[in-house]
């Protein structure tokens, strides 16, 4: 099969998984459902198709537009109120990811580009293309972010409950 057919198959299977995830009403259900359904398909079919170059560009543009479309001018007013915690938490997350990346690279577990992008905070939809363009191993970056997202979704209810009990 050619790559376009394979990618089309992934889109169809991902759409079904996304619909199931949405119906289950779990946090991140659409994204997780789409990802899990394609992974299961790949495991059963024992085949893999790389995204064709033209489709990779289109997908990245669509993701960029989707993310940018969530911006509202009122966010700038809100940002003025929360700028300090936003900047501090962002710096702390970036520094923590950087330190972990240095450790991973020094232990020769991963190359430095892959280690940094894999341990960076942020959306996998932005970081996976960055790893491709920056010479990192996008499969490893995908694994890091996929399992981190699953871990966050599984642990978030308990952590939120614990934080809530400490702050009230």
pLDDT digits (tens, 9 = 90+) for 117-147: 999 988 777 788 888 888 888 889 888 988 8
- How far is residue 116 CA from its own chain's centroid? 14
In a shared domain, residues 81 and 162: yes
pLDDT for the residue 152: 84
Judge residue 70's burial from the number of C-beta atoms within 10 Å of its C-beta, 0-12 exposed, 13-18 middle, 19 or more buried. exposed
Q: Give the pTM.
A: 0.67
92 pLDDT above the threshold of 90: yes
d(CA 118, CA 73): 31
Q: Which is higher by pLDDT, 76 or 146?
A: 76
101 pLDDT above the threshold of 90: yes
pLDDT for the residue 45: 85
In a shared domain, residues 87 and 21: no
Q: How far apart are the first and last CA of the chain?
A: 58
Domain of 27 in residue numbering reads as 1-50
Q: Which two tokens stand for residue 29?
A: 């259900």
d(CA 128, CA 117): 8
| Domains contained in the chain, number | 2
168 pLDDT above the threshold of 80: no
Residue 57 lies in a domain: no
Q: Considering the chain, what is the average pLDDT of its residues? A: 87
In a shared domain, residues 34 and 90: no
Helix or strand run (H / E) with residue 103: helix 74-106
pLDDT for the residue 60: 78
In a shared domain, residues 105 and 158: yes
Poorest-confidence range of 29-33, 44-48, 89-93, 115-119?
44-48
Residue 92 lies in a domain: yes
Residue 8 lies in a domain: yes
Report the 10 Å Cβ neighbour count for 16. Answer: 15
What's the chain's Rg over C-alpha atoms?
Answer: 18
Residue 60 lies in a domain: no
In a shared domain, residues 31 and 90: no
pLDDT for the residue 89: 95
In a shared domain, residues 21 and 88: no
Residue 96 lies in a domain: yes
In a shared domain, residues 82 and 124: yes
In a shared domain, residues 46 and 76: no
d(CA 16, CA 34): 7
In a shared domain, residues 160 and 92: yes
Q: How many CA atoms lie within 13 A of 12 on its CB side?
A: 7
In a shared domain, residues 81 and 159: yes
In a shared domain, residues 38 and 94: no
Residue 61 lies in a domain: no
In a shared domain, residues 85 and 161: yes
CA-wise closest residue to 133 among 53, 33, 76: 53
């Amino acid at each position: 099969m050619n790559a376009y057919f394979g990618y089309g198959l992934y889109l169809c299977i991902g759409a079904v998984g996304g619909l199931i995830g949405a119906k289950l009403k779990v946090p991140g259900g659409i994204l997780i459902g789409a990802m899990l359904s394609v992974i299961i398909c790949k495991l059963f079919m024992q085949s893999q198709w790389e995204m064709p170059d033209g489709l990779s560009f289109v997908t990245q543009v669509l993701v960029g537009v989707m993310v940018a479309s969530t911006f509202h001018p009122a966010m700038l007013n809100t940002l003025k109120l929360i700028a300090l915690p936003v900047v501090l938490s962002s710096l702390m997350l970036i520094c923590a990811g950087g330190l972990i990346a240095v450790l991973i690279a020094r232990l020769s577990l991963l190359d430095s580009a892959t280690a940094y992008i894999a341990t960076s905070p942020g959306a996998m939809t932005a970081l996976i293309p960055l790893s491709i363009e920056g010479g990192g191993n996008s499969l490893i970056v995908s694994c890091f972010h996929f399992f981190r997202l699953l871990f966050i979704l599984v642990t978030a209810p308990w952590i939120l409950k614990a934080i809530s009990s400490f702050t009230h």
